[in-house]
Chains A and B, each alone.
Chain A
């Protein structure tokens, strides 16, 4: 007889109260396998025990929503009888411990979530956060993560079409690796992760089970300390080739109607897939671990149930169709082994040959997981960081040198070094060049295309979690609208510190409120996502970092837009009336070395009108390019519109609305201050009249006007030139901001 002592519970990350609940559910002491199963299913990673109560408040429904949260991924209707299936997930902790494999298996996991739903994956994106590249270890982590993302996506043949990457010291000991995947399925043909039909066989397909990744989900639910690298064995190794075979075999099987339900063995492996499939269908599942294909000898039932070996799936198929299923997997040289049956007693029963090693009511395991309303408390740092005395700033540099500095900063610089390592074209759907805005994939066989953007700004959320999260929603949607797409659905990845600390929980609660508020106003349902807590190293939490992935539809793929001004002479308009502020801005951080102040407010109504206007103008073919004003403000956005154009310049004229105070601060606010809901567009001069009329009807202010042409970037305030820089110099600074950290290492 086993005795469960406190050491066992600590090792499994279970509290005394949770253990009491286990005793109540079972009516006896759990077996070692059972304690392992409860431990992973009730880990923060699998159970969302600290976040569920907040996530419930998010809007998840809408006319286009085909599948909301709770399945392997969400889905929205994109027209032409097609649905887009998408989700974002984090793989932060594994990527710090083993950057290449951590990132690679993150990509593998999110791809499985998509094709499990019956969708062919067609696009990958990622959102990454690292410490400063001045640190050699961080450079190594970045190189590993980028190579790992590329290594997996390139090999399996799914294009990485976009993403974002930001650098803040706060991520030095805890980088963020959030990966997004989108797939396409026929409407009405989605496949669910649900078991049903007592007597139907339960199949194990894909790679063999090894000892890798045991307790990965528990690891992802703990803070890092100096001993973290000892947890290396908990990181799995990815095999994109195996997953490619699995992907093709599963999609082929889904063309038949032999399949009842299917689920990826991701976090918590066989445990999570058996119990979730069973509980969704209200049935029991009875498996024998000795039938599970194993890579190593002498594995215990505990190890087999908890292994997180990659590239495995659990399927329930209709009884009598076994031969058909096995034939398809044999074609792809894959294992497809019947390991058990569906039962009608609602029990997750695990056998080792003749003996039962675990027997847990499925429903209770999955649905009665602990749910905590953890205490919240306003963090003490907020009052201090919000205070910003602009008048006390040292004398600010000339606008030209500040712009060069910003363009060369890691936040703004070209990310060519990164995306060149990703195959962004395979499958020949990518109709937006890399690095020019949202990722855009056309839908072959239709006129449509989908635009996708992932965005978040931890610094903003650090200063104001509620507004910062709203800004993330607005920016991701705006970036999609800048491609000419109507935003129709969203997914979120919430990266925070330790939820057991009230000030972290406050950040989380405020951010989720902000996401909900913005999504409701912009009519953007959240169809799924992921929460990553415990992003702390030695007690120091990262900036609260919610990342939003937004999907939009372009009705006519040929009207897709990017940021680059056309080579012909065109008019430029700055749409949106908010004035930039230096609080929390990239300028304040990069030029003045401060992270402080209040962010510019967001009017969700203005934002919504701006986005609708952009979609309308793009569809009518009335705009030639569109670019959001984001990090670095107006001057940086204007410069970015000139890059990749072959050196064409731009001249922008604004009214001088400075009111008192220091002139240099006022000018810097206008040029580099940040505010939401502002977009630079270029239009043919002949369309000026009609565009102006449409802009007026939409109630969107025009804050500045200008023209493209020449070879300089200039901005004037009430006729006075305040910025004048050659495109060539600006572009040179922008191009080498990241690459300079890797020169002299390899060409």
Chain B
């Protein structure tokens, strides 16, 4: 049971993902430098948050061409669980593994604050131990997290049950006032059609201990561990 945390130049939540998986959850975790060509036999791949390549040009657009990404793509296509957090989400959008793109937050400012998200889908490796409609208190920290896709694309995502997390209020209601950045249909996280690649803008790795204000993010990593333990489970797709 090993998490690989990919480190791009400019990644800055790599240590936080490592600490959460290794020290809070006691799993095996390893950093993988972006110039490497393999994933060190990892069972789960995390693309962490940060500002890969400074987010110059467009968020995630350069990291997507890092040598390691060929291995990540192959791992994902083979059904391996991949989690993109924040900048990791933006990188996955650039690879085309997930549809759509990110606009600047509607506040036109970087925002770092606690938000609530509702778990919409349990059939992913990162939500399988959550309860239906579970509300998680997890922080965001991004300038460009305003998810955008054309209406027909959004309809398709909904029809395929690919919307995994939505911004909501403390009661779980998806309302505009609880949408921190203007994301279309309150989307905070998605999965691919095969359901093994999951990405979200909020930072579950920052919400794994009550000392940090919330331990609600644990469920994301615990799900991955549980899924792998139930060896051989076939993902619906």
A residues whose Cβ falls under 8 Å from a Cβ of B: 147, 150-151, 154-157, 239-242, 244-245, 331-333, 419-428, 430-431, 433, 442, 444, 557-558, 746-747
Q: Are A425 and B206 in contact (CB under 8 A)?
A: yes
A431–B211 CB distance below 8 A:
yes
Known: A240-B51, A421-B109, A428-B20. A557 touches B211 (CB 8 A): yes
**Is B10 in contact with chain A by the CB < 8 A criterion?**
yes
Are B107's CB and A747's CB within 8 A? Answer: yes
- Complex contact A444–B51 (CB within 8 A): no
By the criterion CB–CB under 8 Å, are A426 and B9 in contact? Answer: no
Query: Is B213's CB under 8 angstroms from A155's CB?
Result: no
Is the C-beta of B120 less than 8 angstroms from some C-beta in chain A?
no
Contact A239 B54 (CB under 8 A): yes
Whether B161 is near chain A, meaning CB under 8 Å from some CB there, is no
Determine if A426 and B141 form an interchain contact, defined as CB atoms under 8 angstroms apart. Answer: yes
Task: Give B113's nearest chain A residue, CB to CB.
Answer: A420
Please tell me if the beta carbons of A332 and B9 are within 8 angstroms of each other in the complex: yes
Chain B contacts for A156, CB-based, 8 A: 12, 51
Q: Which of B9, B13, B141 contacts A244 (CB 8 A)?
A: B9
A425 to B113, CA, bound (A): 9
CA distance A463 to B220 in the complex (A): 56
Residue of A nearest to B109 (CB): A421
| Closest chain B CB from A139 CB (angstroms) | 14
Cβ contacts A to B, 27 pairs, < 8 Å: A154-B112, A154-B143, A155-B12, A239-B54, A241-B9, A241-B53, A241-B54, A241-B56, A244-B10, A245-B9, A331-B33, A420-B113, A421-B109, A421-B110, A421-B111, A421-B112, A422-B110, A423-B141, A425-B141, A426-B49, A426-B141, A426-B206, A427-B15, A428-B20, A430-B212, A442-B211, A747-B182
Q: How far is the CA of A618 from the CA of B112 in the complex (A)?
A: 29
Among candidates B12, B112, B213, residue contacting A422 with C-beta atoms closer than 8 Å: B112
Q: Kindly list the 5 A-B residue pairs having the minimum CB-CB distance in the complex, ordered from nearest.
A: A157-B12, A241-B54, A155-B51, A423-B141, A428-B16
Could you tell me if A154 and B107 are in contact, using CB atoms closer than 8 angstroms?
no
Q: Write out, one digit per residue, whether chain B residues 24-47 have a CB within 8 A of any chain A CB (1) or not (0).
A: 000000000101000000000000
A425 near B139 with CB under 8 A, answer yes
CB nearest to B143 among chain A residues: A154
Contact A423 B110 (CB under 8 A): yes
B12 & A558 in contact (Cβ 8 Å cutoff): no
Which residues of the other chain, A, contact B56 by a CB distance below 8 angstroms? 241
Contact of A746 among B9, B19, B53, B109 (CB under 8 A): B109
Question: A110 vs B50: C-alpha distance in the bound complex, in angstroms?
Answer: 21
For residue B106, CB closer than 8 A to chain A, the reply is yes
Check B51 against A433 for contact (C-beta < 8 Å).
no
When the two chains form their complex, are residues A444 and B110 in contact, meaning their CB atoms are under 8 A apart? no
Distance between A445 CB and nearest chain B CB, rounded to angstroms: 9
**Distance (Å) between the CB of B182 and the closest chain A CB?**
8
User: When the two chains form their complex, are residues A154 and B51 in contact, meaning their CB atoms are under 8 A apart?
Assistant: yes
Partner of A428, one of B54, B55, B205: B205
- Digitize B50-83: 1 where CB-to-A-CB distance is under 8 Å, 0 elsewhere: 1101111000000000000000000000000000
In the complex, B108 has a CB within 8 A of chain A: yes
Tell me, rounded to whole Å, the shortest Cβ–Cβ distance linking B181 to chain A.
10
Question: A157 and B13 in contact (CB under 8 A), knowing A422-B112, A425-B112?
Answer: yes
Residue of A whose beta carbon sits closest to that of B54: A241
Which residues from chain A contact B106 at a C-beta distance below 8 Å?
746-747
Give the residue of B10, B19, B208, B211 whose beta carbon is less than 8 angstroms from that of A241: B10
Specify the chain A residue showing the minimal Cβ separation from B15.
A427
* Residue among A147, A154, A419, A557 with most chain B CB within 10 A: A154
Tell me the smallest distance from the CB of A157 to a CB of chain B, in Å: 2
The digit string for B109-126, where 1 denotes a CB below 8 A from any CB of A, is 111110000000000000
A419 to B111, CA, bound (A): 9
Question: Nearest chain A CB to B14's CB is how many angstroms away?
Answer: 9
Q: A419-B112, A428-B208 are in contact. List 7 more A-B contacts (CB 8 A).
A: A151-B110, A154-B143, A423-B112, A425-B206, A428-B209, A557-B211, A558-B211
Report how far A151 CA is from B16 CA in the complex, Å: 20
Q: Which residues of chain B are near A433, meaning CB under 8 Å?
A: 213
Whether A150 and B110, one on each chain, are in contact in the complex, defined by CB atoms closer than 8 angstroms, is yes
Instruction: Look across to chain A and name the residue whose beta carbon is closest to the beta carbon of B20.
Output: A428
Residue pair B9, A154 in contact (C-beta under 8 Å): no
Contact (A154, B15) CB under 8 Å given A420-B111, A425-B206? no
The closest CB in chain A to the CB of B14 belongs to A157
Q: How far is the CA of A338 from the CA of B194 in the complex (A)?
A: 52
- The chain A residue with its CB closest to the CB of B51 is A155
Q: How far is the CB of B22 from chain A (nearest CB, A)?
A: 11
Chain B's closest residue to A560 (CB) is B211
Distance between A747 CB and nearest chain B CB, rounded to angstroms: 5
Given B19, B108, B139, B141, which contacts A154 in the complex, CB threshold below 8 Å?
A: B141
- When distances are taken between beta carbons in the complex, the residues of chain B under 8 Å from A422 are 110, 112
Most B C-beta atoms less than 10 A away, residue of A422, A444, A747: A747
In the bound complex, how far is the Cα of B10 from the Cα of A245, in angstroms? 7
Tell me, in angstroms, the Cα distance from A746 to B182 when the chains sit together. 12
**Residue from B10, B19, B49 having most chain A Cβ neighbours under 10 A:** B10
> Measured between alpha carbons, how far is A427 from B50 in the docked complex, in Å?
11
CA of A420 to CA of B107, assembled, Å: 11
Contact at A241–B212, with CB atoms within 8 Å? no
B9 touches A157 (CB 8 A): no
Question: Contacts of B19 on A, CB cut-off 8 Å?
Answer: 428, 444
Cβ of B50: which chain A residues have Cβ within 8 Å of it? Answer: 157
Whether B107 and A155, one on each chain, are in contact in the complex, defined by CB atoms closer than 8 angstroms, is no
Q: B211 to A155, Cβ gap below 8 A?
A: no
Within residues 138 to 152 of chain B, which ones have a CB less than 8 A from any CB in chain A? 139, 141, 143
Q: Which residues of the other chain, B, contact A154 by a CB distance below 8 angstroms?
A: 51, 110, 112, 141, 143
Q: How far is the CA of A423 from the CA of B51 in the complex (A)?
A: 12
Given contacts A155-B54, A241-B54, A245-B9, contact A426 B16 (CB under 8 A): yes
CA of A442 to CA of B16 in the docked complex: distance in angstroms? 14
Interface string of B201-237 (1 = CB under 8 A from A): 0010110110111000000000000000000000000
A242 surroundings in chain B (CB, below 8 A): 54
Q: How far is the CA of A431 from the CA of B10 in the complex (A)?
A: 24
B143 contact set on A, CB distance < 8 A: 154
Please report the C-alpha to C-alpha distance between residue A430 and residue B182 in the assembled complex, in whole angstroms: 27
Which residues of the partner chain A approach B33 to less than 8 Å between Cβ atoms? 331
Nearest CB of chain A from residue B111's CB, rounded to whole Å: 6
List residues of chain A with CB within 8 A of the CB of B16: 426-428
Taking the nearest CB of chain B, how far is it from the CB of A238, in angstroms?
11
Complex CA distance for A430 and B212, rounded to whole angstroms: 7
Partner of B107, one of A333, A427, A428, A746: A746
Determine how close the nearest CB of chain A comes to the CB of B167; give it in whole angstroms: 14
A427 vs B182: C-alpha distance when bound (angstroms)? 26
Complex Cα gap A309–B51 (Å): 22
Chain B residue numbers with a CB within 8 Å of A241 are: 9-10, 51, 53-56
**Which chain B residue shows the least CB distance to A445?**
B23
Q: Which residue of A lies closest to B213 (CB)?
A: A433
A71, B106: Cα distance in complex, Å: 44
B12 lies within 8 A of A426 (CB): yes
List residues of chain A with CB within 8 A of the CB of B35.
331
Q: Which residues of A contact B23 (CB under 8 A)?
A: 444
The CB with the most chain A CB atoms within 10 A, among B16, B109, B113, is that of B109
> A155 — which chain B residues lie within 8 A by C-beta?
10, 12, 51, 54-55
- Chain A's closest residue to B56 (CB) is A241
A747: chain B residues at CB < 8 Å are 106-107, 182
Q: Could you mark each residue 183-215 of chain B with 1 if its beta carbon is under 8 Å from any beta carbon of chain A, else 0?
A: 000000000000000000001011011011100
- The answer for the CA separation of A151 and B109 in the assembled complex, in Å, is 10
Give Cα distance in the complex from A422 to B139, angstroms: 13
Q: Smallest CB–CB gap between B96 and chain A, Å? A: 24
B contact residues around A331 at 8 Å (CB)? 33, 35
Cα–Cα, bound, A132→B206 (Å)? 36
Q: Which of A333, A421, A423, A431 contacts B9 (CB 8 A)?
A: A333
The smallest C-beta distance from B3 to any residue of chain A, in angstroms, reads 16
B41 to chain A, nearest CB (A): 22
What residues of B have a CB within 8 angstroms of the CB of A746 in the complex?
Answer: 106-109
Nearest chain B CB to A183's CB is how many angstroms away? 14
The winner among A151, A245, A421 for most chain B CB atoms within 10 A is: A421
